[in-house]
Amino acid sequence: MYIVSLNTDNIVIMSNIELKNAGLKVTLPRVKILNKLESAENHHMSAEDIYKELINDGEVISLATVYRVLTQFEAANIAIRHHFDSDNGQAVFELNHGGHHDHMVSLKTGKVVEFYDDIIENRQKEIAKEHNFKITEHSLILYGEFSEED
Ligand SMILES: [Zn+2]
């Protein structure tokens, strides 16, 4: 668990703790990429999104490094990789907050919005029970477009 705060110093401190807890050495690229994911407005970023933002910030980093660090984060369970069927087809990454949520994805822009609904969650459990099915994992992804994208 960590605190999402807009205070840059706090984010850096929490990032360091998080990296150490995950057994990863605190390196500058890891901290910078973790900070990007933590402060991401929509919580979901592709490697290229992160790369472009870091370059805009004046950082010296390669796309290959961003990919490698994200893969390490995924292996260490800090981040989750999603393969949404949106137009650009790029994997997007989000921090693993431990809580479950589902996603709606715009096929037009790749915009991702998270949602959680108790009724949907409970119905899934009931349906699984009717089929003597034990759910170990699930993901619900709605594809479409947001009205403001016209
Ligand atoms: Zn998400």
Domain architecture of the chain: domains with CATH: 1-98 (1.10.10.10), 100-150 (3.30.1490.190)
Backbone angles phi, psi at 115, to 5 degrees: -150, 160
pLDDT of residue 4: 42
The total number of residues shown for the chain amounts to: 150
pLDDT of residue 149: 78
Q: Which amino acid is at 81?
A: R
Q: Ligand 1 centroid vs 81 CA: distance in angstroms? A: 9
Q: Ligand 1 centroid vs 64 CA: distance in angstroms? A: 24
Q: Ligand 1 centroid vs 80 CA: distance in angstroms? A: 8
Its pTM stands at 0.78
CA–CA distance, 93 with 83 (Å, rounded to integer) = 9
Q: Ligand 1 centroid vs 83 CA: distance in angstroms? A: 11
How confident is the chain (150 residues) per 10-residue block, as mean pLDDT? 48 75 88 90 88 94 96 93 79 88 90 93 96 93 88
Q: Ligand 1 centroid vs 115 CA: distance in angstroms? A: 8
Q: What's 99's DSSP letter?
A: S
